[in-house]
Amino acid sequence: MEQPSWIVPDWPAPENIRAVSTTRCGGISRPPFDSLNLGARTGDDALSVTENRKRLATALGLPTAPRWLAQIHGSRVVTAEEIEPDETRADAATTGATATVCAVLTADCLPVLLCDRDGSRVGAAHAGWRGLVAGMLERTVEAMGVAPERLMAWLGPAIGAEAFEVGDEVREAFRLSDPGCEACFTAGRPGHWYADLGALGRRRLSAAGVGALYGSGLCTYSDAGRFYSHRRDGRTGRMATLVWRAH
């Protein structure tokens, strides 16, 4: 049986922090969800998603089942303890509990993990452009409950700047709240721009006081063998980015 594959964040997190970002490889879902689809709201067979989640939990030795969210491209942050499986509508979760796994699902949007330097709190956020404009990351930083300068963040695989084409209205939405963000946009065809989602996320985190920023630099759109991409494929699966305190 093929084992799930994943990416381990390259960040100087405390030794009790565990974090992983999955790829699309190692599951049983059939096309167009092949193969390790972890998203229950994609249209994939429910039994396949359940089996994929079991495989991931076994391969990683997860202490408990991840606290999956019903993501809404908004800015609501909850504690992991208040999540009802696949029902709590939010886009980020934080916790200070041991063995509680925070998780977000993505297929182009930016997954962001947070932890503090003492290893006492963790958080996971799902940030598409709408969430970034709405203050998703700033609210997650605040919900961590520690001084921002004591936090570090890891930005996972997301659609790259060469592939994420947006309209004038998206660029203007960012400029209204962050006039200095122009460098994150490159002109494309008339009325359109290529947006650097990772750079926009880093600007938001920096403005919120988080100075220790790390990232995978991996593009979901350009690597169809490893990653799902909604922009590239439309109907597709979801990867997961997870973080928890081992002790």
Contact 239, 126 (CB under 8 A): no
φ, ψ at 18 (rounded to 5°): -115, 140
Which class in CATH covers the domain with range 6-160+198-245?
alpha beta
pLDDT tens digits for 169-194? 999 999 998 989 999 999 999 999 99
Give pLDDT tens digits for 84-122: 877 899 999 999 999 999 999 999 999 999 999 999 999
Predicted confidence at residue 178, as pLDDT, reads 92
Q: Give the model's pLDDT for residue 2.
A: 62
* Strand 239-245 to 192-195 pairing: unpaired
Low-confidence ranges of the chain (pLDDT < 70): 1-2
Structural domain boundaries in the chain: 6-160+198-245
pTM listed for this prediction: 0.96
The secondary structure of the chain in percent helix, strand, coil, rounded to multiples of 5, reads 25, 25, 50
pLDDT score at 202 = 97
CA distance 205 to 130: 15
- The answer to whether residues 137 and 197 touch, using CB atoms and an 8 Å cutoff, is no
Relative to beta strand 122-127, strand 92-95 is antiparallel
Reading the block at residue 230, the tokens are 């909604």
Instruction: Report pLDDT for 85.
Output: 79
